[in-house]
Amino acid sequence: MSIKSVYKKIRFCVRDVFHNKKQRNSLRNSNFSLITSDCTGGCVAKDLKVRMNSPTRNFYFNADDYIKFCKNLDYYLTLQPELYTGNYSGGGSEYLMASLGDLKMFLVHYSSVEQCRDEWIRRRERVNKDNMFFVMNDRNFCTEKEIREFDELPYNNKVCFTHIKYPQYKSTYFISGSESDNYLKSVMDYVHQWWIKRYYDQFDFVAWLNHGGCDWKSKE
């Protein structure tokens, strides 16, 4: 085992003891579904040691497809991922790809479409439509158009992480550290290689899951 691998294991354990445990002790809402545009929901569920009650794990959607997915959630949950057979050479084309109807899925952490399909079918049955939380960010070809459309979705519990502030949109939350870039760094990345905090720790996920809404706007 390499020194880097050993360090990653140590950092994970330290984070779990000094950060995640406190978060878990404060969590009052455990039967929620995180409907996310990428792997963020899976990371948060792992931190909190709760079951992932959503199929949006181990892959990502481009921003426009995620908006379509959220607008027509009931329909897309009836579908199953299939091998993508179209022509695509944009960002993410290095990953195995699947189709969900007319949507493209980039299978970052799946070794096969079959594995993705099996987990999708299993997890979609867990979705709690009375306790859903929607999470996206301004990566993956996201423009202000998608941010605005996300903000207009008829869901109370939604947050879009952004690399700059958008005070005109209630559901956006600014994550510092990417101001000089064109879009947000992965919020799952660690802020520093020698530190235990991830970028998404700037957002209080537990308070949000406990209370819902987007009350943070008055505190930014």
45-61: pLDDT as tens digits: 999 999 999 999 999 99
Distance (Å, whole) CA 28 – CA 161: 23
The mean per-residue pLDDT over the stretch 198-218 comes to: 88
Q: How far is CA 64 from CA 15, 70, 77, 132, 183, in A?
A: 34, 10, 17, 20, 15
| pLDDT tens readout for residues 99-156 | 999 999 999 999 999 999 999 999 999 999 999 999 999 999 999 999 999 999 999 9
pLDDT band for position 88 (50/70/90)? confident
Length of the chain: 220
Q: What is the pLDDT of residue 92?
A: 79
- Residue the block writes with tokens 């057979």: 85
Q: Are 99 and 116 in contact (CB under 8 A)?
A: no
